[in-house]
Each structure stands twice: as structure tokens, then as C-alpha cells.
A and B are shown apart, each in its own frame.
Chain A
Amino acid sequence: NAGVTQTPKFQVLKTGQSMTLQCAQDMNHEYMSWYRQDPGMGLRLIHYSVGAGITDQGEVPNGYNVSRSTTEDFPLRLLSAAPSQTSVYFCASQGANYGYTFGSGTRLTVV
């Protein structure tokens, strides 16, 4: 039982490049979310999904897109990377008891 799997673990992008951060969960959770973690700012919600085909914006959605075609997968797309998007990104899924399961994170650097 893998829980939440994020790939890649590390990525360096040049300004203007695009990429997709992958997130998959095998717990059949309906609710999934993406956060970014920056020093001194805690966790900020980027996008979330309450089920396949349903997504919504969080606090800091600009520059990111998501889709949810299956219950298992919730990829995060960076459309045109900017240095301000240098961060650690976490995907999480939520079970019925409100407990979140987090992936191990993707450390992204935009140069």
C-alpha cells in the first residue's frame, strides 16, 4: 500500500519552461490537494479536488493548472515556470476521518 506517490522528487527548470508534477494515491480517497511550502509561510493551498472531474482553486492558484480525470491521479501543471515558483510541493489526499496523507514532496527550483 503505497499511500500518496509524488514524482519527481527534485526538479530544476529554466524560467518559461513547463512541467507536470505527478501525484497518485491508492487509497480511493475522493479529496486531493496540492500545497506549496515556503520558509516562514507554512503550507499554502494551490488547488484541490473533491472527486474525479471536480477541481477548484485554493489560495495561490495563479500559474498552476490541475485536472482530475481519475480518482487516483491529480497532476499539477506549471504553465510557464517563474523563479517565484521555486518551492517544495506536496500532494495530499484525505480520507473519511479528515486525516490527510501527504506525499514525500517535490523540491522545485526555477532558475
Chain B
Amino acid sequence: GNSVTQMEGPVTLSEEAFLTINCTYTATGYPSLFWYVQYPGEGLQLLLKATKADDKGSNKGFEATYRKETTSFHLEKGSVQVSDSAVYFCALSVAGNNRKLIWGLGTSLAVNP
């Protein structure tokens, strides 16, 4: 079946530190991969996506590369800010699955000044 596994949080970093949040997946077929972010008290927002192997999604200084050989889509940012404190969700979508997203459990990030 299709599934997404994210590293458990919470992750606590100091401002300007390097961030990696690991995400691996299992999927039938060729999934599209997504990272969503949820700021406190808000709904989820699409952060970035990649639709085929070796694609790199990027937005707001965050990046993730679709690695088919390791079935991974790790989220990275070179220098985090306090405003990046949020919960990050990895997700996948497989064509023909009624367009449903399969979600990871989320990783909470706290960035201290």
C-alpha cells in the first residue's frame, strides 16, 4: 500500500541552524510528493512539491528533492528563522487513487532566537 513516514518530533533548533526533516514513502506507481506547513492556529499550506523523480521543489528557502532510488523527499533549509516554527507534513498522491493525499504524521519544529 501507499504510506509516508516522517521523522518524529519535536525538533528544536537555534536560529540560523540547518534543518533537515526526513520523509520516506512507499507507493505503487509514480507518486507526486508534497510538503505542507501548518503555522500555529492555522490550516495547512502547500510549501513545495515535486511530481517526478529528481525534481527539486523549493519555496521560502526550503528545498526537497524527489529521490526514487531511496524513496525519500527530505525537507531542508540552510538557515532557519523563528518564523519557521510550525508543523511540517509530508504527503504523497498517486494517480488513480481518487486524488487522495496520503499523509505523514507531521513533524513539529521550534526555532529559538
A, B: real partners:
yes
Q: Is B105 close to A, CB under 8 A?
A: yes
Minimum CB distance partner of B92 in chain A: A98
What is the predominant secondary structure among interface residues of chain A facing chain B? strand
Q: Is B62 close to A, CB under 8 A?
A: no
Minimum CB distance partner of B93 in chain A: A98
What is the predominant secondary structure among interface residues of chain B facing chain A? strand
Q: Is B46 close to A, CB under 8 A?
A: yes
Q: Is B89 close to A, CB under 8 A?
A: yes
Quote the shortest CB–CB distance from B34 to chain A (angstroms): 8
Interface window among B14-22, B37-45, B68-76, B77-85: B37-45
10 additional A-B residue pairs with CB within 8 Å, beyond A31-B99, A100-B101? A4-B43, A33-B100, A41-B105, A42-B89, A43-B103, A45-B100, A58-B100, A90-B43, A97-B49, A102-B44
B→A interface (CB under 8 Å): 32, 34, 36, 42-46, 49, 51, 89, 93, 98-101, 103-106
